[in-house]
Amino acid sequence: MSVLVNAETRVLVQGITGHQGTVHTRQMQLFGTQVVAGVTPGKGGTSVEGVPVYDAVADAVAATGANATVIFVPAPYAKDALLEAVDSGLRLAVVVTEHIPFHDMLTMYHYARAHGARIIGPNCPGIAAPGQAKVGIIPNVVFRPGRVGIISRSGTLTYEIVNGIKEVGLGQSTCIGLGGDPVVGTSFVDALPLFDADPDTDLIVLVGEIGGTAEEEAAEFVKAHLSKPVVAYVAGRSAPPGKRMGHAGAIIARGRGTAESKLTALREAGAEVATFPYEIPGLVAARLKELRHR
């Protein structure tokens, strides 16, 4: 099994004819993903990387049976793209687009939830299940099939940690990049129970960063509900208060959202906490070895 995507996932690419849409369509195909359709209004009847392009999402879904979408359209049009996807029956939408206005994302979030759809992102690298499917932009070369689930707020840290896990001879069941904006469609608390219920995930790596309370909420969930071990890392221990560090959501305000407060909460919940990213593969390997010898 995997989480949210698998070999049966049929991906539609909104904004496929743009540079990023075209490049990452090719990379998703190389990963083994079934990319079955693209949508760019006015470009219907053409093709990109052998993928047929349609003018509307509903037409693409009807013709190809697409069941997931990845959105590469510019920020001013991302809300309409997401609403069109949901109205067309798609229930998984990975929104790669950055700089989506805050109020647009609030509309997107509540509209998707009201219709039983899940958003990953925005401003995210997407989701990947090695050997099955990738929906997004995470580099193909860092993956190896395995039994470690990864949930992360940071794109580049995700790549580093996934690659480090591969280099110690382990692999990943699924990796979800949640996105770095203040409002995201899927949180740690949303994703953790999916991995906990996945029989092919033995351990979960949680990668957080400063800003907001998502990691503290995750710690509460881990302590109260999670049955699987967690290895955690939180970026931004040296970040000064009030200064944005990287993502729009990575800012400490009014004494809340510091790395130390998050790390403390995770430790108290029973997670093993890394001080630096390069420590994570070793912690994961040691914990998995311990689990095998119980």
Is 110 considered catalytic here? Answer: no
Gap between the Cα atoms of 250 and 236, Å rounded: 8
Q: What is the 3-state secondary structure (H, E, C) of 11-66?
A: EEEECCCCHHHHHHHHHHHHHCCEEEEEECCCCCCCEECCEEEECCHHHHHHHHCC
Closest CA to 161 of 259, 264, 244, 232: 232
Gap between the Cα atoms of 106 and 246, Å rounded: 21
Which residue among 19, 115, 225, 247 is the active-site one?
247
Please, are residues 184 and 178 in contact by the beta-carbon 8 Å criterion?
A: yes
Distances (CA, A) of 1 to 133, 144, 234, 284: 12, 15, 28, 20
Residues annotated as part of the active site: 247
